[in-house]
Chain A
Amino acid sequence: MKLKGKAWKYGDDVDTDVIIPARYLNTSDPAELAKHCMEDIDAEYAAKVSPGDFIVAGKNFGCGSSREHAPISIKASGASAVIARSFARIFYRNSFNMGLPIFEAPQAVDEIDKGDLLSVDMESGLLRNETKRKEYRIVPVPPFMQELVAAGGLLNYVSARRKGK
């Protein structure tokens, strides 16, 4: 799978309270959540993001609450993936469980500016900054996670195992 879009750049420790503020958690409707994605740090994001764009951030992206609303709102906003120096652990597992690709690429993050055109080839594990004409290797997905992704997410995996019993 190939992903392509421009970069929206943020700093370190972007927490789930700014990805989707708790005041909007009285719903789990993806379209509704997408409207408020990143609202408290970037009022422009939700209105201007184009399908395929990337969220690019520093260390510990997605720290804070376990709300799956965070990756849901990012996915529903149209972003194709998140690229960060590192991820908070619950955000990491939530993203996998629901099929939002995330990549750890510290060096790439440092060299990406807001608006750069990026592309990712998930099979070959290659990230290209088209604007800056630079290429980076991205951390490969662990085999167990690949199994989850291949099964179509955690729930399909679980229900397949259940039927097998």
Chain B
Amino acid sequence: MGMTLTEKILAKHAGRDRVEPGELILAKVDLALGNDVTSPIAIDAVRKLGVREVFDREKIALVPDHFAPNKDIKSAGQMKMMREFAREYGIVNYFEVGRMGIEHVLLPDEGLVVPGDLVIGADSHTCTYGALCAFSTGVGSTDLAAAMISGEVWLKVPSTLRIVLSGKPGKWVEGKDVILHIIGKIGVDGALYQAMEYAGDGLASLPMAWRFTISNMAIEAGAKNGIFPFDGATRAYADARAKRTFEIVTADKDAKYAAEMGVDLSALEPQVAFPHLPENTKPLSQVGNVPVDQVVVGSCTNGRIEDLRSAASVLRGRKVHDGVRMLIFPATQEIYLQAMREGLMEVFVTAGAAFSTPTCGPCLGGHMGVLAKGERAIATTNRNFVGRMGHPESEVYLANPAIAAASAVLGRIGSPDEIR
């Protein structure tokens, strides 16, 4: 019997002809990732074991992004620990402030993740790279330490949920709405321990930026990974960026899927996830009157140039509402530069929005936009848990960049069509 995309990639990296869902395997990693929150624990472990050399200096990426630029003295210490480790152990892919970005946008853009790869990262949104037809999943710091030493990771082969996309998305609908809709349908544990594999003729209208957004939020459905098949869009992206050669992996025709669901893109409306779970989604038309204090566009979910363009197209020539603070976080320095070249920065600043250096910052309530008690935000990020962006009694609503931008102008959650 045939194998799914995920099974094929896992089998190859475990040195096996085939793997079955439920099996535990030891697999080789092409890249192991850590950030300023998760790698200090891993670094401590590597040092404590007396290990003086990592398995491969080029296959580890360390990205300070959560509390970078250093938010306080403690985080400065964590960042210093990473920097010193990177220098001492000769880690090639360490990205200093000024040359960095949010890890999950930075690594594929830098060509460090290529199709067919097996990537683990001590960050739950490592699943983002599934957009590139790679297997990638989030692990803990101890897994990262083990992988830095051995180049291997233990994995349980997931069963696969196949999601067949059809139709063309309508106005103001983006990748974010596709994944919010799916999570709304299956719930935050709807794909627990599973792989989500996308298929169908709807793929043709999904640009890479949208696929990254969709794979990024696989974890919000409890999934291990969210993977797209290789096609022309993948080819164009990889040819322009990949720093290594790659082999194209395809799912077998007779692959066995645990379940299948269909999504008709043409029937989708923009979606909004209400507090405090990403599964609490409503179509925009049913949101009602929800005033907001803060609007955030950015993060590993929606901080790409396409996202900034979408927000800017709504904001151009308009002003952010008096009662609203709007914060824009390009995900990488490259995107920052591109936004400058295209004049997007000017659009944002003239509209009265703040434009920041790349960081995770407000996405996790870290810094640069933390919410006070009772405040409400709409954000293009991926989580709206209790206290995620600040005070436990603050609220986060999730949406795509165009809806976020429209909400900034309206002072309440709404559609670009409502602005005159």
Contact = CB atoms under 8 A, between A and B. Distances in A.
Nearest to A99: B142
Interface stretch (B39-47, B104-112, B254-262): B39-47
B41 A28 contact: yes
A144 B124 contact: no
B369 interface: no
Interface string B374-392: 0000000001011110001
A68 to B, nearest CB: 4
A148 B138 CA distance: 19
A63 interface: yes
A5 to B, nearest CB: 25
Given A22-B364, A26-B67, A89-B222, A17 B388 contact: yes
B139 A66 contact: yes
B313 interface: no
B193 A89 contact: yes
A41 B386 contact: yes
B40 A28 contact: yes
Interface in B41-61: 41, 44-45, 49, 51
Interface class of chain B by DSSP: loop
A67 interface: yes
Interface in A56-84: 59-60, 63-69, 72
B71 A26 contact: yes
B365 A21 contact: yes
A148 B153 CA distance: 12
Contact of B140 (A17, A21, A59, A66): A66
A64 to B, nearest CB: 6
B140 A94 contact: yes
A158 B146 contact: yes
B378 to A, nearest CB: 18
B301 interface: no
B345 interface: no
Given A60-B222, A94-B142, A161-B150, A66 B74 contact: no
B366 A17 contact: no
Nearest to A98: B142
Contacts of A158: 146, 149-150, 152
B287 interface: no
Nearest to A23: B365
A97 B387 contact: no
Contact of A97 (B78, B142, B364): B142
Interface in B244-285: 277
A46 B277 CA distance: 24
A40 B392 contact: yes
A90 B138 contact: yes
Contact of A40 (B24, B40, B149, B386): B386
A113 interface: no
Contacts of B121: 66
B145 A17 contact: no
Nearest to A41: B386
B365 A22 contact: yes
Nearest to B279: A13
Interface string B114-153: 0000000111101000000000001111110110011010
Residue among B121, B143, B152 facing the most chain A CB atoms (10 A cut-off): B143
B242 interface: no
B222 A88 contact: yes
Contact of B150 (A64, A65, A153, A162): A162
Contacts of A88: 189, 192, 222
A142 B24 CA distance: 9
A67 B37 contact: yes
Contact of A63 (B45, B140, B188, B364): B188
Contacts of A86: 189, 192
B66 to A, nearest CB: 7
A47 interface: no
A98 B142 CA distance: 7
Contact of A25 (B24, B66, B152): B66
A141 to B, nearest CB: 12
Contacts of B383: 15, 17, 64-65
B72 interface: yes
B75 interface: yes
A68 B142 CA distance: 8
B89 interface: no
B412 interface: no
Contact of B386 (A18, A98, A155): A18
Given A26-B78, A69-B41, 15 more contacts: A13-B188, A17-B364, A18-B385, A21-B387, A25-B67, A26-B67, A40-B386, A60-B192, A63-B189, A65-B364, A72-B41, A89-B224, A93-B143, A148-B154, A158-B146
10 closest pairs, A vs B, by CB?
A94-B140, A26-B74, A60-B189, A97-B142, A66-B124, A22-B364, A144-B24, A68-B140, A17-B385, A66-B138
Interface of B: 24, 37-38, 40-41, 44-45, 49, 51, 66-67, 71-72, 74-75, 78, 121-124, 126, 138-143, 145-146, 149-150, 152, 154, 188-189, 192-193, 219, 222, 224, 277, 364-366, 370, 383, 385-388, 392
16 contacts: A15-B385, A15-B386, A17-B364, A17-B385, A26-B78, A40-B392, A64-B383, A66-B138, A66-B139, A90-B219, A98-B140, A98-B142, A158-B150, A159-B49, A159-B51, A159-B149
